[in-house]
Structure 1
């Protein structure tokens, strides 16, 4: 994972997804993987959730991305690939929770 910072402004973007149907998890991961090709992304990871919690297993897929600053995050959200990803993933997912810090 990259730890290079730009004036301490680095933004970490984490998104949790659950699928409507477990058979669609690989397709969700594949669709979300497109986001890593957006030029303003500094670092990108997408993975199935490997946690097997005895109380809850609500999260199926996690996206983790880093951006140099707010402008880079805004450019990511405005990119056509971001919309293309939404078109693929939204019909397959149940829950989506996002956080930036």
Structure 2
């Protein structure tokens, strides 16, 4: 399984809801096993510039690639890119993850 995690910061705090609305298009793409978008709770004590988190689980790299190739993915980028300051993305295969017992 592939986990896809993307972190966003908005250029302006007033635009966070618009960022979430734009990213909500991604939830309509059918290739994810699980998909979530949430505003960051910012519970740590250090300066935290992350406003929104996208989390998805995909059966394999083919499913993730199909998700990224979908027209709604491109539409979400078009809506969100002008509103965001930072974007960090991570994709990893859970088969290679180190786990605690």
TM-score range, shorter chain: 0.7 to 0.9
In structure 2, the partner of 1:22 is 13
> In structure 1, how many angstroms separate the alpha carbons of the residues matched to 2:44 and 2:58?
30
Structure 1 position 85 matched with structure 2 position 85: no
Measured after TM superposition, the shift of residue 52 of structure 1 is 3.3
**TM-score for the superposition, normalised by structure 1:** 0.88
Give matches, 1:37-76, under 5 Å.
37-76=28-67
The 3-state SS of whatever aligns with 2:56 is strand
Higher helix share: 2
| Unaligned residue ranges in structure 1 (runs of 5+) | 1-9
| Unaligned residue ranges in structure 2 (runs of 5+) | 93-101
Corresponding residue pairs, total: 92
> In structure 2, how many angstroms separate the alpha carbons of the residues matched to 1:100 and 1:54?
26
What is the RMSD of the two structures over their aligned residues, measured on CA atoms?
A: 0.8
Measured after TM superposition, the shift of residue 49 of structure 1 is 0.4
Q: C-alpha deviations, 1:67-96, integer Å up to 9, x for none?
A: 011100000110000000000000000000
